[in-house]
Every structure is written in C-alpha cells, then in structure tokens.
A and B are shown apart, each in its own frame.
Chain A
Amino acid sequence: MIRLENLTKHYGAFVAVDDISLEVPRGLLYGCLGPNGAGKTTMLRMIAGILRPTDGRVFLGGDDVHRNAIAAKLKLGFIPDRPFVYDKLTGAEFLRFVAGLYGQEGDAVERRIAELLEVFELASWKDELVEAYSHGMRQKLIISSALIHRPQYIVVDEPMVGLDPKAARLLKDIFRQFVARGGTVLMSTHTLEVAEAMCDRVAILQHGRIVAEGTVDDLRRQHRAGDASLEELFLKLTGGAHVRELAEVLGDGAP
C-alpha cells in the first residue's frame, strides 16, 4: 500500500502540496488528475523520495520513504515526466546500470534486459548510445528501467507523453497486468480518456489539495453529474468555464 500522511510541500511562501492524506491499496491503478501547477508532480516526486516534504510522511508497504529510504525504494519504480538519461551510455548499459543501483546483476539481469528491450521494440537499438534515441524511445527506455528490478509499486508522471499509439497501448496493458498481479500503480495524467479507461480510482488535485477522490462513478454521484464524462467532471471541478473563453479566443483568429 502507498500511504500519504498529511503530506505538505512549501517553496518559500508558495504551497505546492497542502496537507494531502491518501491511501492506495495493493492491486490498484490510481490516477492523479489536475490542472497544470496543481501539485501532482511535486507529490509524486516526494513519494519517489526525490523531494523532501516540508511536513508529513510517505509510506511504501509500511516503510517510510524518507526515514527508511533504502527499504522503501527497493520496492519502487519511478517514471518521471522528462526522460533525462545518460547520453553516452547505450540502452542496454543504462538498464544494467539501473539494475546495479537496485543491487541486481548477473544472467538474470541480462535476460530481463533482453526481455524488456524486446517488449518495447528497442532490441535493435540496445548497443546504440542514448544520444541517438528519440524522445519516445528514451521514454520507453525509462519505463523499462522502472520495471527492471520487478518493483511492487510504480509511480509514474505523465506516462503517455511521447509514446506512439502502439507503445501507449502496450503500457496500458503492462500496467493492467501489473496491478492484476498485486502491484500498485500511482500515476498522474492529463489524458482524461486514459484515466477514465485505466484507473480504478482517481483523485483530482487543485492548488495542492485533493478536491475530489473516488471511482469515476463515485465522483459523478458526489457531484450530481449524471452521465457526464470524466472530462466534463474535471472541468466542472477545476474551473472549466475558462475553456469556453479559450474556444472563443481561438475562434477569433481562425481563418
């Protein structure tokens, strides 16, 4: 289980994440939605142990990410939104390096590398330096690196950015199978169709706080939205009136 207790992050006077408490049980695919600047990335980076919270705690399977970091991180695979990888390593070398960070080596790792590169159609690129990879290929490599040590929890920030439709579909299947086997995925996304189709539960964040939480059906009921899509629900909860104004602005300039 991923558990957040009163998680808070301040940047000076600005409150990026404001007292969030959340529990994501095992075997669940959980989505975090919210407009730009709502605090999703900051929250996920605190869960991954990259940022230290100003207040509050994060537990991965009972281990505090900041106080018992090694034990907690051994169970985690993190996929960031921007795919920064060492340019002068090859794809296979990068995966071997990441496996090493998790204390894994040997034939089992080599088999796993071959398997992941095959699944993500990077096998023919495995001995090529990452500097020659496209954005999407880097993203696939990072996803492979998050899976290399067979984590129990995956925290992923905007998983579909840069992926071609085939890879996006593959990733959806991988995540579904992962949770079906008892794993937990916590992801942030702007792609509401993805969230609606994939997530068992969602939380909508705004100004660093969770403004709605539950299954999509729960949210519809809570907000008396009838058969509204998640997109309509999202806009309703996060100030969607601006969208109509935006449409008018774009309309003015249309040929």
Chain B
Amino acid sequence: MRQPSLWRVIEPKWRTALQRIREERSRGGSGKLLTLIGVGLAFWVGVFGVLYKILKYFRGVEELGPLLAGKLLGLVLLSFIAILVLSNVITALSSFFLAKDLDLLVSAPVDWLRIYLAKLGETLVHSSWMVALMTVPILAAYGVIYRGGLWFAPYGVLTLVPLLVVPAVVGSALTLVLVNIFPARRTRDLLSIIALGAGGGLILLLRVIRPERLASPEGFKNLLDFIAVLRTPTSPFLPSEWATRATMSFLRGAFDPLPLVLLWTTAAAAVTLGAMLHRELFAPGFTKAQEGAERFVRGRLWRRTVGTLLAFLPVAKREFVLKDIKLFFRDTTQWSQLILLAVLVLVYLFNIKALPLHRGEQVSFFYVTLVSFLNLGLAGFVLASIAARFIFPAVSLEGRHMWLLRSSPLDLRALLWSKYWVGTIPLLALALLLTGLTNVLLQVRPFMMVVGLVTICGLTFAISAMALGFGTLYPQFETENAAQIPTSFGGLVFMMATIALLAAVIFVLWQAVYTYVRAVYEGQPVVIGGWMVLWFAVATLLCAAATALPLWVGLRRMESFEF
C-alpha cells in the first residue's frame, strides 16, 4: 500500500489551526490580533534595545568585547537548550501519548516513521515557537552591532533550525523511555514536579549566589585568568556552543563551516536515532499510556478540616468550595506550581533584604518609604501573575461540566462567589505576607505599614475579581490544560487591565503618601487632613469599582453562556 504523505498525516492539525484563525477573524478578532502584534513588537523592541546597548558596550572593549559577546550568546543559547529539552519532554507526552488524534492515527495503516515525524514536528512547533521568536531580537541585535548584513538572517535560520530539532528529539526520546517505565499520566505528574522543582531550585540558587557581585571590578583577581575563562568554551559538546561559534565566526568575517556541519549532522543523526527508538518503544509505551493513574481516595481529610470550617455556609456553596479545593490539590500539574510560588516569595523577600537602604537616617527614611510604597505596585504585579495562573482559568475549567451546573438549581452567583473566595483567600494571605514581611524587613513606620496592608487588601480583592471577570469574558472551554489558559488573549487583556489599575492606585496614593513623607522629612507633625482623606477615598473607590464591576460583568456573561 502506498503510504500517505507526511503532509496528509498532519493535515488535521494545520487545518484546525487555520480554522481557528478564520473563526477569530469572523468574530472581529482583528483588534485582538493588533493588540497581540503590538505587545509582541514592544517585547521584541525591549529585548533588542537592552541587548543592543550591552553589545554596543562590548564592541567598544578591545580584545575582550567579542569574547564577552560570544560568551553571552553561548549562555543564552545554553539556557534555551535547557528550557527546550524540558519543554519538549512535557509536550511530547501530550503529542505522542495523550493526544486525541492518536487513536485514529495508530489504528490507520500509517507506518511508524510517518507517525514519528508528524508527532516530532508537532512537539517541536508547540514547545519551540516561543524560544524561536525570542531569538529573533537577540540575533537581530548581534547582526546590527556586528554588521552581519542581509545574509545573516537566512544564516541565523540555518543555525537555529538544528538547534531546535536536537532538543525536540532528545525530549521526545526521554518521554518515550519514561512512559515505558511509568504510566503516561503518572509520568506527567512526575515531570510537573521535577520541572517546577528544578526551575524553582535554579532560580533560588541563581539569586542566593548574588550574581550582581560578579559585575563589581574587585571580583576579578587577575585579568588573564578572566580572559582564559572567557576563551574556554562553556559546553564544547553541546549544540548551543556550535551555534555560538557558527554565529560569531560569521559575524567576525571568519566563516568556519565546521560548527554548522556539526549542528546539521547531529540533528540528522538525532532524528535517525530517535526514529529507531520510536520504532522499538512506541507501541509498548502507547499501550501503557492507556492505563490510568488510578488511586483510591477517601477525601475525609478535606471534609473534616475545610468542610468543618465551612459548616456555616449553605450546603451548595460548601460543596462547591470543597470540590474546587480537592480538584486543585489532586491535580499535580496545578498544586506543583506552588513550589515555584514559594521560591518566588523567597527570592522577593531576599531581594528586599539585600537592598542597601539603611545608610544615614534621613536618606534612609525617604528611600525606605519610597521602596515600601513602590513595593505595593510590585507586589500587586506578582499577585496579578498568580491570579492569572490560578483564578483566571477557574470558569474555563468548568466548561465541560456546565451541563451539570446549569441544569442544577445552583445560583450562578453562588458559583461565582465560591470561585472568588477560593481564589481570594489564599491570594490575600500571600499579599499580606509579602507586604507585611517586606515592611518589617524595611523597618517602615506604622503609617506606611497600615497604608501598605490596607492598600494591598484592596488591590487583592480587585485583582481577584478582575481575574475571574476577564476569565469569564474570555473563556477557553476547549482547553484541557489549565496552564495554557492564562497565555490566551484574555490573559493578556487581564494583565494589561491590572497594570492600569495598579498604576492608577499608586498614582492616587502617592499624593497622600507624599504629604506624609514631606511632613516627616521637614520635622512637621503628620496631619491626616482633608486632601489625604480624599486621595485615600479615591483609591478605595478605584479598588471597590475594580472589584464589583468585573464580578457583575462576569455574572452577566456567565448567564449568557450556551453549551
């Protein structure tokens, strides 16, 4: 039998993608597209600008400049490879073993090689597109600074493609082996914990060793030692090093084909070996992937603890809250993100503690108050990111179960109420912890402590309501993976709206805090006068409106949902 072309095998995927774009367009999605392009371009320009400045500085440094530029590129590409391998392992699990089209593909008379190549391509695209886009402004900055010319663009693509292929093959192969050892669903759980644990550990390590100290000149004992370190390849046997050498040799006008040959031959060899491994291990792995990660659960602990605490609530609300908590803590892909969250809080507090503020009484007071005040914005942004991850998807995740909720006598207000408080209470605890501990570390005065804690409470209520409201306005009912929901267009709109709210509240409160700072600085008594009260009232109104309005809009939107 003549085998279908690879194009035919992946046809449902690209047709679905095209259809989605068409649907977005017909829904008047040109505004969406323009916003996404705008944000993407702003990000690109930002990355390009920062790197351009760094590389321009490097270029001005005799001898060391190109070495530093090469080292920097090597480190960036090395970190990309690490991210790509991890991302490919997780993506391959879905595309090779859990995807919905697998039953059709595996039962059809399609040979193993076509399935492998189709799924490898799918894995590669899903896990690498972000990294590929990220390299555009990076390589552009290198190209502009080192005058790579027009040919540098296709040359960059030629270098980048094998760099993406190798981690895709390695990631898929690792998944293939893992699935043959553990059931696929258990492997996903394990990987989530390992990936987030490793990511969190790395961030913590990087922060605790305080890399900023390396930038200070007294850190170097000997210039020759430093140059020797720079000349030594970071990882001579890794494709990232070959890609760096290929790029830098082209940019310095001393083209060396060897790294490029190494990249392409390694990619070709990897695909061949990957295909052979797939032929041997895919069938048993796929069979094993059909096994569930079944567990017997009694769930009495939740009922006895949270259930008892919530005994004052009507039964429908109580059961809804209990259900949401159980679902969260039984889904490893969800709760494991708390590891990253804990690391984030530690790094945050570490950064505050490392600030050199307490040097001289008067200056210290001003800067301490300023940092404590601006910290509200930063803490608000952290809370918004967390809300985007945990609260924004809450309504979308109910999509498949709406038949039950809508056909039952559950009032939609109760549903929204439960979702709101299940998200808000832990967020509020975190907000108070972040702000309170930061203020304690900064040794702020009671006035700023009270302003900080009250403001962060108001902001938390608003951020939580906005996450739920925007999540309802832009639901993603078809997405099974909760982690993908915040990266949707709605997630972007939510983050932009939250940043606008934070800016507005910070601006309004600054008027009041400035009066306080001035009074203390000038040795005057602090008087909470009419203007100060007015600014506090405006900030309160802003937070109240940002809480009530999204919830109201969300409720109206939820009432119009059709399934």
Residues of A within 8 A of B (CB): 45, 48-52, 69-71, 73-74, 76, 78, 80, 84-86, 88-90, 93, 96-105, 127-129, 131-132, 145
Contact = CB atoms under 8 A, between A and B. Distances in A.
A76 B408 CA distance: 8
A50 B403 contact: yes
B113 interface: no
Given A103-B315, A104-B315, A128-B296, A50 B407 contact: yes
A84 B401 CA distance: 6
Contacts of A74: 409
A50 B323 contact: no
Interface in B312-365: 314-316, 318-320, 322-323, 326-327, 330-331
B1 to A, nearest CB: 16
A52 B407 CA distance: 12
Contact of B295 (A48, A73, A128): A128
Interface string B141-165: 0000000000000000000000000
Contacts, number: 103
B9 interface: no
A96 B293 contact: no
Contacts of A80: 403
B407 to A, nearest CB: 4
A45 B563 contact: yes
Contacts of B315: 100, 103-105
B53 interface: no
A194 B524 CA distance: 88
Closest 7 CB pairs of A and B: A100-B319, A132-B294, A78-B407, A48-B407, A88-B330, A84-B400, A73-B409
A50 B563 contact: yes
Contacts of A89: 323, 326-327
B413 to A, nearest CB: 11
B34 interface: no
A100 B319 CA distance: 6
Nearest to B295: A129
Nearest to B412: A69
A44 to B, nearest CB: 10
Nearest to B302: A93
A85 B401 contact: yes
B560 to A, nearest CB: 7
B562 interface: yes
A148 B195 CA distance: 42
Contacts of B292: 131-132
If over half of A's interface residues share one DSSP class (helix, strand or loop), that class is named, otherwise mixed; here it is: mixed
Given A49-B406, A70-B411, A103-B409, 16 more contacts: A48-B403, A51-B563, A70-B409, A89-B326, A90-B298, A97-B323, A98-B408, A100-B316, A102-B316, A128-B294, A128-B295, A128-B296, A128-B297, A132-B292, A132-B294, A145-B404
Which of B299, B330, B404, B560 has the largest number of chain A CB atoms within 10 A? B404
5 contacts: A74-B409, A84-B401, A90-B299, A101-B404, A131-B294
A78 B404 CA distance: 8
A73 B405 CA distance: 11
Contacts of B314: 103
A98 B410 CA distance: 10
B402 interface: yes
A45 B561 CA distance: 13
A107 B330 CA distance: 26
Given A50-B563, A88-B326, A101 B410 contact: yes
B400 A97 contact: no
Contacts of B411: 70
Which of B292, B314, B323, B403 has the largest number of chain A CB atoms within 10 A? B403
A19 to B, nearest CB: 19
Nearest to A47: B407
Contacts of A131: 185, 292-294
A42 B319 CA distance: 29
B409 A52 contact: no
B333 to A, nearest CB: 11
Nearest to B318: A100
Contacts of A103: 314-316, 409
A85 B402 CA distance: 10
A74 B535 CA distance: 49
Contacts of B406: 48-50
Contacts of A52: 560, 562
Contacts of A129: 294-295, 297, 330
B409 A101 contact: yes
Which of A50, A73, A102, A145 has the largest number of chain B CB atoms within 10 A? A50
B408 A102 contact: yes
Contacts of A50: 402-403, 406-407, 562-563
Contacts of B400: 84
Contact of A102 (B295, B322, B409, B562): B409
B136 to A, nearest CB: 39
A145 B315 CA distance: 16
Contacts of A78: 403-404, 407
A45 B404 CA distance: 11
A103 B400 CA distance: 22
Contacts of A88: 326-327, 330-331
A84 B316 contact: no
Contacts of B402: 50
Interface in B254-300: 292-299
Contacts of B316: 100-103
A129 B297 CA distance: 7
Contacts of B403: 45, 48, 50, 78, 80, 84
